[in-house]
Structure 1
Amino acid sequence: MRTGSRLGDTIEGVHLASLIAAVVAFAFAALWAVIGLAGLAGRFPGNRWAGVRTAETVSSQEAWVLAHRVAAPGFLGGAVVAVLGGLLSLANRWGFVYALGGLLIGLLAVSMVSGVAVRAAQALVPPQEQSGGCSSGCCSGGEQTDGADHSQTGSADPAADCGESSCGSCALSGMCLPESQASDSHQP
């Protein structure tokens, strides 16, 4: 009799795992469907938690909307696959395998289309200004405007010429600031 109870516990455990996997699949499907439908309509608001979040897509509202319109079919496809995996999970004793497979295939679809969406958003972002330093006219890459020779400061301290001109070197990022301000400016 003891063997039958172990088998019953195993079957109940498998059913519970399938049920949990189905709920997780349905939750991801709902999230992906909302993102896909809102993105397709151009009404998916910028946020911190969901969507295609990269430097290119959050650079402007126009880039955000374009990226989510491009990504919408992938999000909707991922939602459909996750729902199918969740439904198959409920119909079979070892169904959690179907739910996990549906989630993985859905995540692959969302990931692939998100990459395409990022490239679309990159097309809207203007290329960075190419200069030798932090800005054009800076002594580290452009012409010196104050007549000073900043390449030969005569000091081993890289911040020795702080405050001598309006030139700000990228390598000196925060070195000309008092220590309390410099540490605050590097905090994420």
Structure 2
Amino acid sequence: MLIVSVVLFTLALAVAGVAVAGLTERLPRNRWAGVRTPATLRDDQTFALANRIAGPTLLATAGLLALGGLGGLLVGGPLGAGLVVAALVTAALTAGAGGMMGAKAAAALPTSDAGACGNSCGACSLRDACSPS
């Protein structure tokens, strides 16, 4: 159980680091950490909002992982293994709920207008096709 507990403590530290970075809006858009959906990756402001909203639940996830590691160390045996599994399941559900809240908040933000070149009739290559003849 020592190795499992060390893994849980390491995960707790990593998740807590992501949570604090998200809460303080210091988490840049990246491939690995944070709430990553097409809506949240739209721009830096949307990504920061989604991770700021998911931050408290990620801190709770880190706490649950640390408690699971502590339970595995102190209790041991089948009961300790049960505590570790329960902590992992609860932590995954908590992180998922926070990510879902962040993704919904990002999707609720209005998209920025693409401008004339983003519209089909105003695009540079199709400008003549839409003009009256």
Query: What band does the TM-score fall into relative to the shorter chain?
Result: 0.7 to 0.9
The 8 Å contact of residues 25 and 102 in structure 1, kept in 2 or not, is answered as: no
1:159-181 Cα deviation digits (max 9, x unpaired): xxxxxxxxxxxxxxxxxxxxxxx
1:126-160 Cα deviation digits (max 9, x unpaired): 2899xxxx83489xxxxx6489xxxxxxxxxxxxx
Q: Which residue of 2 aligns with 1:100?
A: 85
% identical equivalent positions = 35
Shift of 1:23: 1.7
Q: Does residue 30 of structure 2 align to residue 47 of structure 1? A: yes
Structure holding more helix per residue: 2
TM superposition score normalised by structure 2: 0.80
Q: Does residue 14 of structure 2 align to residue 31 of structure 1? A: yes
Higher relative contact order (CA 8 A, sep 6+): 2
Instruction: Please tell me whether Structure 1 or Structure 2 has the larger radius of gyration of its CA atoms.
Output: 1
Give 5+ residue unaligned stretches, structure 2.
124-128
Q: Which residue of 2 aligns with 1:120?
A: 105
Of 49, 57, 80, 2:63 maps to: 80
CA distance in 1, matches of 2:88, 2:113: 38
- Paired residues in the alignment total 122
TM superposition score normalised by structure 1: 0.58
Alignment of 1:1-188 (within 5 A): 18-94=1-77, 95-126=80-111, 135-136=120-121, 145=130
The 8 Å contact of residues 22 and 89 in structure 1, kept in 2 or not, is answered as: yes
1:43-75 Cα deviation digits (max 9, x unpaired): 112110111111111110000100010000010
Shift of 1:97: 2.4
Cα RMSD (Å): 2.4
Cα 1:115/1:128, change in 2 over 3 Å = farther
CA distance in 2, matches of 1:145, 1:58: 32
Runs of 4+ in 1 over 2 A off after TM superposition: 134-138, 144-147
CA distance in 1, matches of 2:60, 2:122: 50
Cα 1:42/1:145, change in 2 over 3 Å = closer
What secondary structure is seen at the aligned counterpart in 1 of 2:36?
coil
